[in-house]
Amino acid sequence: MSVNDFIYTFVSAFVALFPVTNPVSSGFIINGFISDLDDAQRKIIIKKIIINCLIIGIGSLLIGRLILLIFNLAIPVIQLGGGILICKTGLEWLSDSPSTSEDSKQDTINKINLDELEKKVFYPISFPISLGPGSISVIFTLIAAADIKGHILATSINYAIIALVIVLICTILYLFLTQGQRMMRKLGKSGNLIINKMVAFFTFCIGLQIMVTGISKIFHLTIL
């Protein structure tokens, strides 16, 4: 394979994975729920999110096909299950009511939020919000396209390129998470509350779309 082929693999992988992962949208969603943390706490949470996303993405690349074979799972089923999880998360966020206590100290609020986020860093923040079933299904598709029979070196390079794309997308998510706090501060508490509710609704809609896509593929329907 030529250099142009590897460049094409990189561009194709990025174009296919970026819209599904959408690190900008994911970063905006996550920023809405870590806006009350101080800088040190934000760094801790963001670091864990990025590490989890890298583990999910690279892990899907390395052992994804093996998992599908072991459990005999189809990608549409993963989309259906992941869509249900995202819908559940969106509904939970929509039903959350903000605290009305004005006497609580800021460090207490931060501690409560940090404790809650620690429990949710992997699910649902890292998966399925940051890197969801749609992203995993795209990675599985890229794996199939990267395999070149009889060319182990070329196949390995293609896998490395896909891994590089995953790292690049996680880097974009990291940059948006670390810089997004400025935007949230300008919006204020009322603006953040409005945006959080809107984001929760759109999160539910995204989950519903992924779920419907899975159903349409399972039953061979043309729904969307």
Contact 41, 159 (CB under 8 A): no
* CA-wise closest residue to 26 among 152, 159, 180: 180
Range of the domain at 200: 3-218
Four-CA torsion 2, 170, 52, 10, nearest 10 degrees: -10
H/E element, 158:
helix 152-179
> In this structure, is the dihedral angle defined by the CA atoms of residues 63, 215, 209 and 12, taken in order, positive or negative?
positive
Each residue of 62-100: pLDDT tens digit?
887 787 778 887 778 877 887 787 788 778 778 865 544
Note whether residue 224 is domain-resident. Answer: no
Instruction: Please compute the mean of the pLDDT values over residues 200-208 and round it to a whole number.
Output: 78
Asked if residue 220 has pLDDT above 80, the reply is yes
Q: What is the pLDDT of residue 184?
A: 66
Q: What angle do CA 50, 203, 21 make, to 5 degrees?
A: 40
Task: Please list, in sequence order, all residues whose beta carbon lies within 8 angstroms of the beta carbon of residue 106, skipping any fewer than 6 positions away.
Answer: none
Q: Quick one: residue 148, left, alpha or beta (phi over 0 = left, psi -120 to 50 = alpha)?
A: beta
Note whether residue 223 is domain-resident. Answer: no
Each residue of 107-130: pLDDT tens digit?
444 454 677 778 889 988 898 888
Asked if residue 33 has pLDDT above 80, the reply is no
Note whether residue 201 is domain-resident. Answer: yes
Instruction: Please compute the mean of the pLDDT values over residues 36-44 and round it to a whole number.
Output: 84
Task: Please list, in sequence order, all residues whose beta carbon lies within 8 angstroms of the beta carbon of residue 190, skipping any fewer than 6 positions away.
Answer: none
Note whether residue 33 is domain-resident. Answer: yes
Main-chain dihedrals φ then ψ at residue 34, nearest 5 degrees: -125, 15
The span from the CA of 125 to the CA of 137, in Å, is 18
* CA-wise closest residue to 210 among 135, 124, 134: 134
Report how many domains make up the chain: 1
The span from the CA of 86 to the CA of 123, in Å, is 10
